[in-house]
Structure 1
Amino acid sequence: MFRKTFLWSMSIVLLGGVMFSASDASAASQAKKFRNCSELNRVYKGGVAQAPGVKNKGGKTKYAPFVSKALYDANKKLDRDKDRIACEK
């Protein structure tokens, strides 16, 4: 009985791990790529930051950036000053 319960619970844990990693991969692949900063700023006024603690190199900005690693990675080419914030305003 114990062995059956143990195997059943381990199966659930493994299945949960597979589902979690699949959802991470799909989130990264679904990140929208924008053609330019004008398009990105229509949706995200302050731009997109890679991480919450990132500091802007370009000086004072009007809006706070939206934080999303997947979205930043999809639009990395739009980060001209390489400060890990794409299209900051």
Structure 2
Amino acid sequence: MKKRLAYGLSFALLLAVAVPASPQPVDAAQKYQNCSELNKDYKGGVAKSASVKNKGGKTKHKPFVSAKLYEENQKKDRDKDFIACEK
């Protein structure tokens, strides 16, 4: 029993070292032309962080949280509440 466990662990370790990890895709933030285009992908808009509150009150959709995406589309945040193109 101990031999099987030792062989199994050795094989798993060898497999983990021999197979390289797949490269992670680069998170490139897209800059949108206007809020209509941004809202096609992100219905609730894009928030800078999860702790921001909407100045306008209730919205239909919850915003997607991404600091990089917000920074690229910051000019579309007209009310400066750190949520761009909220609906």
Structures share fold, TM-score greater than 0.5: yes
Distance 1:77 1:35 in 2: 10
TM-aligned CA deviation for residue 59 of structure 1 = 1.5
State the partner residue of 2:45: 47
Which of the numbers 31, 36, 39 marks the counterpart of 1:38? 36
**Structure-1 residue corresponding to 2:16:** none
Question: Higher helix proportion, which one?
Answer: 1
Q: Offset at 1:42? A: 0.2
Question: Would you say how many aligned residue pairs link Structure 1 and Structure 2?
Answer: 63
Aligned-pair CA distance for 1:81? 0.1
Q: 1:71 aligns with which of 66, 69, 73?
A: 69
**Cα RMSD (Å) of the superposition?**
1.2
Runs of 4+ in 1 over 6 A off after TM superposition: none
Contiguous gaps of at least 5 residues in structure 1 = 1-22
| Correspondence for 2:80 | 82
